């Protein structure tokens, strides 16, 4: 069942989302070659707790860290640890916050010093695909209008969208209905209605869309070990168009 959020609920999700946005500013300021992913995890958690929130991923289905940090061929769910960030990497960070009973969720892929032209293009196209998906999240449209906006842009640029992982509704739970695939023909699925809150999140691979999970049972990687980029915003469908609840437009550079 897809729940339509009240204005009061939307404001609570926005409050959680603004903490998410602030955590990304902390990441942008500190994500440099030599820093460990564990330190980034700690910095994000310190900021979230200082703002009165809770890191939503910690303990979720047993996840052991506060945020997800996925590097290069890692698509999502990378576990922070002693690995050090290196120049030339793509670093995808996913942050979720629980505040006053409601969730906000967002992801960005940062370009660390000296990434290749192909990696820059991959990140740019993935971010553009996110905003193309957001743009069509309007009342009267269909859910797969979002899917097609993402897929068509990604594939026209020579990349692929992950098919085994999807975006999702969000609110009192981190993952609610509907599931939002990043591929599919337009004009299908549930009608988009005012009050729907959606976490739209294209995961874009350099080559094939197939993925697999590593032995840690969390880290998802591209099957062919090509690069991947991940962008996400929490968005509400309104009568006047989509509104992002996890901060404004964010560039992927550091």
Residue 138 belongs to domain spanning: 7-244
Q: How does pLDDT run across 108-161, given as a tens digit for each residue?
A: 999 999 999 999 999 999 999 999 999 999 999 999 999 999 999 999 999 999
Q: What is the mean pLDDT of the chain?
A: 96
For residues 113 and 167, what is the distance between their CA atoms, to the nearest angstrom? 29
For residues 130 and 198, what is the distance between their CA atoms, to the nearest angstrom? 12
Q: How does pLDDT run across 203-238, given as a tens digit for each residue?
A: 999 999 999 999 999 999 999 999 999 999 999 999
**Of 196, 30, 167, which is closest to residue 106 (Cα–Cα)?**
167
> Number of folded domains in the chain?
1
Is position 105 within any domain? yes
Is position 254 within any domain? no
The domain that contains 235 carries what CATH number?
3.90.230.10
Angle between helices 117-135 and 143-156 (to 10 degrees): 160
Asked whether 228 and 207 are in contact (CB, 8 A), the reply is no
Q: Which position has the token pair 């999702």?
A: 168
Is position 250 within any domain? no
| C-alpha distance from residue 27 to each of 37, 46, 107 (Å) | 10, 12, 11
């Amino acid at each position: 069942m897809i729940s339509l959020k009240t204005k009061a609920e939307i404001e609570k999700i926005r409050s959680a989302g603004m903490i998410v946005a602030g955590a990304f500013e902390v990441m942008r300021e500190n994500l440099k070659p030599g820093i460990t992913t564990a330190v980034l995890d700690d910095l994000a958690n310190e900021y979230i707790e200082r703002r009165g929130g809770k890191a939503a991923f910690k303990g979720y289905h047993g996840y052991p860290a506060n945020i997800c940090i996925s590097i290069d061929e890692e698509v999502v769910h990378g576990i922070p640890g002693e690995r050090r960030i290196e120049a030339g990497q793509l670093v995808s960070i996913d942050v979720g916050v629980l505040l006053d009973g409601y969730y906000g969720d967002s992801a960005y892929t940062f370009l660390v010093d000296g990434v290749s032209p192909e990696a820059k293009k991959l990140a740019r196209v993935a971010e553009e695909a996110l905003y193309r998906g957001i743009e069509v999240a309007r009342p009267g449209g269909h859910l797969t209008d979002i899917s097609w906006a993402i897929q068509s842009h990604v594939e026209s640029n020579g990349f692929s969208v992950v098919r085994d992982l999807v975006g999702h509704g969000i609110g009192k739970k981190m993952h609610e209905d509907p599931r939002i695939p990043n591929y599919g023909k337009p004009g299908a699925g549930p009608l988009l209605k005012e009050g729907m809150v959606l976490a739209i999140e294209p995961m874009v691979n350099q080559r094939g869309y197939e993925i697999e999970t590593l032995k840690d049972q969390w880290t998802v990687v591209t099957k062919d070990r090509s690069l991947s980029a991940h962008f996400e915003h929490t968005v509400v469908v309104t009568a006047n168009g989509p509104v992002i609840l996890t901060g404004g437009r964010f560039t992927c550079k550091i």
